Chains A and B, each alone.
Chain A
Amino acid sequence: MNPEYILRITFIIFFTYFLIQSIFYLFFSVFGLFQSRRRTYQAKEEDSSVLFSTHFSLPVSIILPAQNEEKFIADSLKSILTLDYPEFEIIVVNDGSTDRTLEILNDILLLEQFDKAYTDQFNSGKIHEVYKSVNYPHVTVISKTGGFNKAGAVNAALNFVRYKYICVIDADTIIEPGAILKVMTQVEKDPDKIIGVGSYFGLANGFKIKDGKILEKSFSFNPLIAYQNLEYIRSFIATRLSGSAFNALSCVPGGFGVWRRDVVMQLDGYKTGFSSEDMELTFHAHDYMVKNKKDYQILMLPYYVGWTEGPSAIPSFITQRNRWQRVVNETLWRYRHMLFNPQYKWLGFFTFPYNLLFEVFGVFIEVASIGILTWAWLIKMLDVKIYLGLFLFMVLIQAFISLSALFISIRDEKVFRFRYTCYLVVLSFFEFFLYRWIAITAKISGTIDYCRGVRAYKQYKRK
């Protein structure tokens, strides 16, 4: 094939791809801005004391799956125990931990073995023991065999939950005291319709935490962490918040997600065959509700409900992103019938194509375009000025997307101090030089692993 022809095609693909991406993000950002504003005001004007002191609140079963979480489980559990919410139970699942997780749980909760008859309704692995806490009667601990991913741990807990709503929280997440109250205030507005709710959470790296309480929110200046903070903002505001406005949310985050139990039961619990459970469950819920012609809503809220520990080293980061990429591929393949299907409305025509184009194929388009352009420049088919111009174009598009999300974020959720905001502004312009390539590596390795049939929930190493 004629090299000039290849270059011309690459040029067209390159520009079209970035043009579509910009339009998508611009669209998402505008709707994210309105949605964020609305929800922030709603929370500000709400009198949550009514919900806090009512007999008619919707009680919540909090599920905390934990596998080898000896470093975080104490703080995470303590933050949940002190939640401001009138009625909730906690079910901790010790998912085959080989470290001191169970011992730490016992120290805090003072566990007592509890012989409870139950029906194992879902694919969850063998449950060995059930414990009740002597100190906190509303806490149950289940000890089970590992090997069914996080989904299996949540399924095990589903056998024991009592309340209409479940809230799944990661064991490395510190929850804000008002988290459930804020989320359930929204649910209470229409409990018949709202089946799932997610909300923001950020990275706790650098925070001063004691006994499950955040003493100081000092955000980490480690570039890898700061870039992840920026990416979280981008993802929550620019895609999920606006997706929620059209009832086309692609993922209720696994770190903190509230679901109506009857819906999860109808879905036969969480699917254990996926690398991760959050995105699959969200698509499954959409699919079930649409197929059964039920009126429903899955919401994303712009309130910081919790803080999680992000990977602070590159190999850990790649391990985590590898898993995220796999679950995107697995879910989109499993629910491919939604693509451009009018039944699924915005999900089929907007969220799904977006994920397919930018989350699955995007990385290959970017790498191929850059590779071909570099090759063309090396063989002197492409002028250096044009090559650098294109490179600058990519940097600026990336910066534009990050900055618009950052602007919405600092406008509504005032979590970053001035210095950190400035730091994020500066970092936005350099994302393309290193962080982007690490993320690309993780995505490519995730796609390769997906094709190889890897479905394991690999936990990355924490500091």
Chain B
Amino acid sequence: MEEYHFSLIRNIDAILIIITAFLSITIIIYAVINEWFVGIRYRRLSQIVSDLQKIAFKGNEAIVNEYAALIKHTTSLGLFRILSHKRNNPPGRFLKQFTECINNSAKITEIERIARKSISKWRRIEGIIMLGYLNSPNALGILNQALYNRDNDIAYFSLVSLGHIKNKESAKILLANINNKKFSSYKIASILEHFLPDIAEILIKSLEDQGENLRLWSIRLLSRFKPRECAKKVSDFITDSSADIRAAACECLGEIGAEGFEKPIQKCLNDNIWYVRLKAVIALEKTLGAKSITDIAPLLKDRHWFLREKVKEIMIKHFSESLVFIEKFLLEEKQDVKQSCVEIMDGSGYRDKILNDLVSGDIDTQDKAQLWLKAMIKAGAHFGLEGILSKYSPDMRQKILNAIAAVDKDKAEDIGKRLKGDGQ
């Protein structure tokens, strides 16, 4: 029995020794080959890239002939590495000549064959990506077909590759796939964003589509291209049932800066959804500038903090127009609104101005500053005052502290104590 156990364990151990030894040797050999191979591959690629640069300086005739010779001797994988990395591309306008040379050579047939039916999935994907850079006559057809491939990676990289062919046909194909659940709308939009503005007419047409997602992304993309002629159509979406579309429509109108469309945006300031209100605030400020404060300032009391922050930022930007609202809001009950007012005054440098006015020679200015100070202190705007006061000379500081004491004696004492502590 014992002998049986021993022989069993010995056999298992022997198998394990062989496996682990094999794995160890494989890892070591792989690591050696890899370091060696990476070096060779790097040197070869550097040589090609350097040759490409040299050819580029020889003049047009030489370029056509020498590019053709270089392409002939470079593998399709080498060409992929040159095309897919910007640092390896031939300089400036020579890239176009280089891709034309590839399209006119026999290599393009090989690349198209790889993109269509290479057995190796990742080799096929490299072919697909290359077609996007080369934009050969058959590229659109091959890529469009590959979009519907069962393999998600092949389909995805066909989509990415279509993005390299920046023309109306590829834009149409990409837009048609925005409702395709296989692809992310974000991805398609980020690709289309890099197209030329002439695709705007396709986007405007898409606004009539039944699919909500396509309408939404068309509006979002239009806000990047900003064609003025679409403002009317986009403004119709301000009352859309989808909050995302309403928000996108506001953003688009704001980006276009279309005058005469303020009214629909103003309506969205009362929307139930916070980000629609936010986009409306931003759009209105972009369209009307300082004049928008009248509509925007009441949203300083909005229940959503992110929106309040945006309003605050805009009120700081257009502070003189906001002053009348700040004065009014400081008298209100809500502590956070008062706090926001103080932050606006602080952000715009107005708090410093009030303190300076308090110690100025002019009596009228002093009285006015005293009133502001009272409103500020009552609103709890004493935060950070000791920091500001420490910049003043002891005399000036005392004068300001006296003014504060006239409003709130305890607060003045508290600030005075902290200032002394700071001094120590």
Contacts and interface: CB of A to CB of B under 8 A. Distances in A.
Interface of A: 11, 38, 41-42, 45-47, 49-51, 53-58, 113, 115-118, 162, 188-191, 383, 385-386, 389-390, 392-393, 396-397, 399-400, 403-404, 406-407, 410-411, 414, 416-418, 421-422, 425, 428-429
8 contacts: A113-B384, A115-B342, A117-B308, A188-B187, A389-B13, A400-B23, A403-B24, A425-B28
Given A55-B224, A396-B13, A422 B31 contact: yes
A57 B339 CA distance: 33
A188 B224 CA distance: 19
A94 B78 CA distance: 50
A56 B186 contact: yes
Nearest to B339: A115
Contact of B190 (A56, A383, A407): A56
Contacts of A55: 190, 193, 224
B17 interface: yes
Given A38-B153, A400-B20, A403-B27, A54 B190 contact: yes
A38 B153 CA distance: 9
B126 A188 contact: no
B19 interface: yes
B156 interface: yes
B12 interface: yes
A425 B27 contact: yes
Decide if the interface of chain B is mainly helix, strand, loop or mixed: helix
Nearest to B38: A414
A47 B160 contact: yes
A421 to B, nearest CB: 4
B306 A190 contact: no
A191 B20 contact: no
Interface of B: 2, 5-6, 9-10, 12-13, 16-17, 19-20, 23-24, 26-28, 30-32, 34-35, 38, 84, 86, 122, 125-126, 129, 153, 156-157, 160, 163-164, 183-184, 186-187, 189-191, 193-194, 220, 224, 305-306, 308, 336, 339-340, 342-343, 383-384
Decide if the interface of chain A is mainly helix, strand, loop or mixed: helix
A19 B166 CA distance: 56
A121 to B, nearest CB: 12
Contacts, number: 125
Contacts of A41: 122, 125, 153
B194 A403 contact: no
Given A117-B305, A403-B20, A414-B34, A386 B5 contact: yes
Contacts of A42: 153
A138 to B, nearest CB: 13
Contacts of A429: 20
A137 to B, nearest CB: 11
Nearest to A46: B160
A416 B157 CA distance: 30
Given A45-B126, A400-B20, A188 B27 contact: no
B122 A45 contact: yes
Nearest to A54: B190
Given A383-B2, A396-B16, A403-B20, A56 B193 contact: yes
Contacts of B126: 45
B62 to A, nearest CB: 31
A400 B16 contact: yes
Given A51-B190, A389-B13, 10 more contacts: A45-B125, A50-B191, A55-B193, A56-B220, A117-B336, A383-B2, A383-B6, A389-B10, A399-B20, A418-B35
A393 to B, nearest CB: 6
A57 B190 contact: yes
Contacts of A396: 13, 16-17, 20
Contacts of A383: 2, 6
| Pairs A-B, 4 closest by C-beta atoms | A54-B190, A389-B9, A396-B16, A403-B23
A393 B9 contact: yes
A443 to B, nearest CB: 24
B277 to A, nearest CB: 15
Given A115-B339, A425-B24, A390 B190 contact: no
Contacts of B28: 421-422, 425
Contact of B193 (A38, A54, A400, A406): A54
A407 B20 CA distance: 11
B234 to A, nearest CB: 17
B7 to A, nearest CB: 10
A441 to B, nearest CB: 26
A189 B122 contact: no
A272 B29 CA distance: 48
Interface centre among A11, A45, A383, A399 (most CB of B within 10 A): A45
Contact of A188 (B35, B86, B190, B343): B190
Nearest to A422: B28
A42 B125 CA distance: 10
A50 B163 contact: yes
A173 B340 CA distance: 36
Contacts of A404: 23
Nearest to B164: A47
Contacts of A403: 20, 23-24, 27
B184 A189 contact: yes
Contacts of A54: 189-190, 193-194
A428 B19 CA distance: 13
Contact of A410 (B17, B27, B156, B157): B27
B45 to A, nearest CB: 15
Contact of B187 (A189, A392, A428): A189
Nearest to A112: B384
A117 B156 contact: no
A390 B308 CA distance: 70
Contacts of B34: 410, 414
Contacts of B30: 407, 410-411
Contacts of B86: 49
A125 B30 CA distance: 52
Contacts of A11: 5
Contacts of A399: 20
Contacts of B343: 115
Contacts of B157: 45
Given A41-B125, A188-B184, A393 B16 contact: yes
Interface centre among B13, B17, B31, B384 (most CB of A within 10 A): B31
Contact of A53 (B9, B194, B340): B194
A124 B144 CA distance: 51
Nearest to B306: A162
Contacts of A392: 13
A188 B186 contact: yes
Contacts of B308: 117
Contacts of A414: 34, 38
B224 to A, nearest CB: 6
A295 to B, nearest CB: 11
A422 B25 CA distance: 10
Nearest to A184: B186
Contact of A390 (B9, B17, B32, B186): B9
A213 B202 CA distance: 45
A179 B199 CA distance: 33
Contacts of A49: 86
Given A386-B5, A389-B6, A410 B31 contact: yes
Given A54-B193, A115-B339, A418 B16 contact: no
Contacts of B23: 400, 403-404, 407
Contacts of B191: 50
Contacts of B189: 54, 56
A436 B34 CA distance: 31
B326 to A, nearest CB: 16
Contacts of A46: 160
A390 B157 CA distance: 51
A432 to B, nearest CB: 12
B27 A45 contact: no
